[in-house]
């Protein structure tokens, strides 16, 4: 069975003080449904991480169905940390493949900017295993990925400058994205000299907290954007479970399965969204997805291969680093950008893009989804 994309929607990403979690979720959903020509919807899946912890609002699926008048249809929220959006999308795909649903709305949403940095950091830490040494030792997410960056520097000739090139590329892409959170021009110097968050990651190496939502409507009815593959894998939930510090097996596995399903390899992909929660994560995941050899991703950055006009454009949306990272929305907003690319009207449009890939990561490597879309 084939599955197609019929509509997409997205709110601005940023600090949206006058909007509730529900407002954002409904706005993106409404837009996606309109874009799809307001079809009858058989189910709703919501990707969200912190509705319970910092918004005191769960039952999001039922709220969408009620407030948009979709009827008494099945709905659910899906949580997989920062991969909540990608995993919610996959449940919609499985629902259609099962024959139970024809058309499904998926919306990802997060509202994070209304609480203190301490409170949001605490809430995000629920995406680490409470039994892990790193959580006991007080490592937060920048701390964890900072360890990976240091190890990457140790095993390769990469430096902070390579990380900065990732951050700069993504910022330059975000400048052209009307809904992105950060659109102020910057420079390698400013990025390298910015406030350290955790050695060696500076402010620009870390994705921000963000309010926002993104939605997508898929159906077994034909359209000109076809889903070629949906894949998901899990990985170690603790640093001590890693094969080596520069591996993200969930990313590698989800990529491998997706390529196999699509009958394609990394060379066939025209445009990519990678989960760049930190600059180092984009580099490691670009290797795990087979775009570059292991421990050589930093060279590709140096050579400009991942820019919109490069060999394999990565994060033309601005990525999590500059488009923003409303946790539950991120996986859907990646698909949003890939759909725009295949439709030919994306920010930083890649000439002739026909096949796009979106990879969404959860936790410190606990989850990864990969979806491949094709213009038909």
Catalytically annotated residues:
82, 325
CA distance 105 to 213: 13
197 φ/ψ angles, rounded to the nearest 5 degrees: -95, -55
Rounded to a whole number, what is the distance in angstroms from the first to the last CA of the chain? 15
Residue 150 or 234 having the CB closest to a copy of itself: 234
Contacts 24+ apart (CB under 8 A), 134-143: 134/238, 134/239, 134/364, 140/198, 141/277, 141/278, 141/364, 142/197, 142/198, 142/201, 142/206, 142/278, 143/198
The answer to whether residues 64 and 55 touch, using CB atoms and an 8 Å cutoff, is no
Task: Kindly tell me which residue out of 291, 292, 298, 367 binds a copy of itself, with binding defined by CB under 8 A.
Answer: 367
Question: In sequence order, what are the beta bridge partners of 371?
Answer: 230, 358
79 is a contact residue toward a copy of itself (CB under 8 A): yes
CA distance 105 to 64: 10
Residue 58 or 189 having the CB closest to a copy of itself: 58
94 is a contact residue toward a copy of itself (CB under 8 A): yes
52 is a contact residue toward a copy of itself (CB under 8 A): yes
Residue 78 or 340 having the CB closest to a copy of itself: 78
For residues 233-262, which are near a copy of itself according to CB under 8 A? 233-238, 241, 249-250, 253
Residue 63 or 167 having the CB closest to a copy of itself: 63
CA distance 358 to 231: 11
For residues 30-49, which are near a copy of itself according to CB under 8 A? 49
99 is a contact residue toward a copy of itself (CB under 8 A): yes
CA distance 325 to 327: 5
Residue 98 or 116 having the CB closest to a copy of itself: 98
125 is a contact residue toward a copy of itself (CB under 8 A): yes
Q: What angle do CA 151, 152, 156 make, to 5 degrees?
A: 120
Would you state the structure tokens that stand for residue 364, as one six-digit string? 């410190």
123 is a contact residue toward a copy of itself (CB under 8 A): yes
Residue 3 or 342 having the CB closest to a copy of itself: 3
348: left (phi over 0), alpha (psi -120 to 50) or beta: left
95 is a contact residue toward a copy of itself (CB under 8 A): yes
108 is a contact residue toward a copy of itself (CB under 8 A): no
Binding part of the chain for a copy of itself, among 125-133, 167-175, 176-184, 301-309 by CB under 8 A, reads 125-133
Smallest gap, in angstroms, from Cβ of residue 222 to a copy of itself?
A: 19
57 is a contact residue toward a copy of itself (CB under 8 A): yes
Contact residues for a copy of itself, defined by CB under 8 A: 20, 22, 49-53, 55-59, 61-63, 65-66, 72-81, 87, 90-91, 93-95, 97-100, 122-123, 125-131, 232-238, 241, 249-250, 253, 362-363, 366-367
């Amino acid at each position: 069975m084939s599955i197609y994309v019929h509509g997409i929607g997205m709110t601005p990403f940023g600090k949206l003080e006058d909007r509730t979690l529900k407002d954002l979720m409904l706005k993106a959903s409404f837009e996606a449904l309109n874009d799809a020509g307001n079809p009858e919807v058989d189910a709703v899946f919501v990707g969200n991480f912190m509705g319970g912890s910092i918004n005191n609002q769960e039952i999001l699926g039922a709220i969408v169905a009620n407030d948009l008048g979709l009827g008494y249809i099945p709905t659910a929220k899906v949580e997989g940390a920062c991969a909540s959006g990608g995993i919610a999308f996959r449940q919609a795909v499985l629902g259609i493949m099962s024959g139970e649903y024809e058309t499904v709305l998926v919306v990802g949403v997060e509202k994070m900017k209304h609480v203190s940095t301490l409170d949001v950091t605490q809430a995000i830490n629920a995406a680490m295993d409470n039994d892990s040494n790193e959580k006991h030792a007080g490592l937060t997410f920048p701390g964890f990925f900072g360890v990976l960056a240091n190890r990457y520097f140790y095993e390769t000739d990469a430096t902070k400058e390579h990380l900065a090139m990732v951050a700069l590329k993504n910022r330059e892409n975000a400048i052209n994205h009307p809904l992105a959170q950060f659109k102020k021009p910057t420079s390698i110097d400013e990025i390298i000299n910015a406030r350290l968050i955790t050695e060696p990651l500076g402010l620009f190496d870390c994705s921000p907290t963000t309010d926002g939502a993104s939605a997508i409507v898929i159906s077994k009815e034909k359209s000109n954007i076809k889903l070629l593959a949906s894949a998901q894998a899990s990985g170690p939930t603790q640093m001590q479970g890693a094969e080596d510090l520069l591996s993200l097996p969930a990313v590698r596995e989800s990529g491998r399965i997706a390529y196999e399903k699509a009958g394609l390899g990394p060379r066939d992909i025209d445009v990519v969204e990678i989960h760049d929660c930190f600059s180092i994560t984009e580099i490691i995941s670009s290797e795990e997805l087979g775009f570059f050899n292991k421990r050589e991703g930093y060279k590709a950055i140096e050579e400009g291969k991942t820019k919109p006009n490069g060999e394999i454009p990565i994060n033309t949306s601005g990525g999590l680093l500059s488009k923003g990272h409303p946790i539950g929305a991120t996986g859907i907003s990646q698909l949003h950008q890939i759909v725009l690319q295949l439709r030919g009207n994306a920010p930083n449009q890649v000439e002739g893009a026909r096949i796009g890939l979106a990879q969404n990561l959860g936790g410190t490597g606990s989850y990864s989804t990969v979806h491949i879309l094709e213009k038909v």
